[in-house]
């Protein structure tokens, strides 16, 4: 099971997407956890989380973005320009951060120069930066506009009953992923951080029904495994988006095991559920907008710090790696405050700035991690 999940996580396309497309079905990509996947699912569309994995060059990304900006959306644009995302029937871009917001205009501009890289459905989905009564009402309207646009372009109907069924299916997956967190945090660690992250990445790279079935079987397989990792230092990773399994392996090769995280490709994507008892659009708006664990949301630093504390305590970690992609103002700024407050509580922290994609400095990162391991030993 784990080998199959690794294959999914190490590449952009996978056999589940190919099977889905061969059946005449549609795929819509999105780059940020603030896009409600249930809406696409209810429309009979496969929601697919955009990634930059496997990028070898940034010739296209640098052309339309420039060099001094986060490399994560640049890698997505690079793969789109190369044709790696040719299987997409649509893309929804959101303002997760300013660099991600610019992916909308940069991709559109690249589409004028490179034929065929702009999907037929290309939509900008705005998300407020704070949670208030009026912002929730605004977000409900934004979701309804997205519903209408999807129905019009793909000639389908998204019913209330379909939305409720999709919410139930996605909540089931989130509950299973929470079980994975519990297994990771156990005294006798039976799954490393690389494989756990591969499982989480697979959740947004394949049909959710197939993922739920695969994850149930994988959790059963992992529980029966006696291959513990006793004696290794237990680490937690916090900060910028990371779907790079090689980065996790590099950390674990230093004698550690990553037992927890608070990244958006990690636990933040399933920390809360959608209310199944109320109007589905209102419930989706409240769940996704109340996703205050991202530093893009104003006024929730204390809640984010408390979330890290609770995750660290539950996993009995020995240290925290606070990483951010270079030029990421949101995570870079907040990681500095996290370091100050967590170190004051006696939790060893290491702050690391890194590149995403082809510019990852393996030697420098390994040296930093080795030094941190010596410190907490």
Q: Provide CB contacts within 8 A for 214, sequence distance 6+.
A: 1, 4, 5, 202, 206
Confidence of residue 40 (pLDDT cuts 50, 70, 90): very high
State the average pLDDT over residues 103-127. 97
Domain coordinates of the chain in residue numbers?
14-153
Q: What is the pLDDT of residues 89-106, one digit of tens each?
A: 999 999 999 999 999 999
Contact 225, 279 (CB under 8 A): no
From residue 42, alpha-carbon distances to 157, 158, 261, 283 in Å are 9, 6, 30, 15
Least confident of 105-114, 122-131, 265-274: 265-274
Percentage of the residues of the chain whose pLDDT score is greater than 90: 85
- Tell me which of 3.30.70.270, 3.40.50.11890, 3.40.50.460, 3.40.50.2300 is the CATH number of domain 14-153: 3.40.50.11890
- Collapsing DSSP to helix, strand or coil, 317 comes out as coil
Residues with Cβ within 8 Å of residue 271, at least 6 apart in sequence = 293, 307
More confident residue, 225 or 12: 12
Arithmetic mean of pLDDT, 83-88: 97
Degrees, nearest 5: CA angle 181-3-219? 30
Query: With 90 as the cut, is the pLDDT of residue 88 above it?
Result: yes
pLDDT at 318 (0 to 100): 97
Read off the pLDDT of residues 227-264 as tens digits, 9 standing for 90 and up. Answer: 567 789 999 999 999 999 999 999 999 999 999 999 98
pTM: 0.95
Kindly report the average pLDDT of the chain as a whole number: 94
């Amino acid at each position: 099971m784990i080998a199959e999940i690794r294959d999914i996580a190490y590449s952009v396309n996978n056999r589940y997407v190919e099977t889905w497309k061969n059946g005449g079905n549609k795929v819509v990509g999105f780059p940020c956890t603030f896009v409600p996947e249930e809406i696409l699912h209810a429309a009979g569309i496969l929601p697919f989380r955009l990634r930059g994995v496997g990028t070898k060059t940034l010739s296209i990304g640098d052309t339309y973005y420039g060099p001094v900006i986060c490399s994560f959306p640049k890698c997505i644009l690079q793969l789109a320009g190369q044709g790696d995302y040719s299987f997409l029937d649509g893309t929804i871009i959101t303002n997760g951060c300013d660099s991600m917001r610019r992916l909308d205009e940069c991709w559109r501009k690249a589409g004028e120069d490179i034929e065929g890289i702009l999907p037929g459905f290309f939509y900008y989905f705005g998300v407020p930066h704070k949670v208030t009564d009026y912002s929730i009402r605004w977000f409900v309207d934004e979701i309804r506009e997205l519903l209408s646009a999807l129905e019009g372009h793909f000639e389908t109907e998204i019913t209330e009953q379909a939305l409720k069924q999709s919410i139930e299916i996605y909540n089931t997956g989130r509950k299973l992923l929470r079980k994975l967190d519990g297994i990771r945090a156990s005294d006798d660690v039976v799954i490393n951080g690389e494989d756990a992250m591969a499982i989480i990445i697979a959740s947004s790279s394949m049909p959710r029904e197939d993922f739920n079935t695969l994850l149930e079987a994988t959790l059963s397989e992992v529980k029966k495994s006696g291959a513990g990792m006793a004696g290794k230092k237990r680490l937690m990773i916090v900060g910028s988006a990371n779907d790079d399994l090689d980065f996790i392996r590099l950390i674990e090769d230093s004698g550690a095991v990553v037992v927890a995280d608070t990244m958006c490709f990690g636990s933040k994507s399933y920390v809360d559920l959608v209310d199944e008892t109320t109007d589905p659009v209102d419930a989706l708006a409240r769940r996704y907008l109340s996703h205050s664990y991202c530093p893009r949301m104003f006024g929730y630093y204390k809640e984010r710090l408390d979330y890290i504390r609770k995750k660290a305590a539950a996993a009995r970690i020995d240290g925290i790696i606070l990483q951010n992609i270079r030029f990421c103002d949101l995570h870079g700024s907040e990681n500095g405050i996290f370091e100050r407050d967590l170190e004051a509580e006696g939790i060893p922290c290491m702050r690391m700035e890194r590149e995403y994609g082809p510019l990852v400095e393996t030697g420098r990162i390994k040296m930093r991690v080795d030094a941190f391991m010596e410190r907490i030993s």
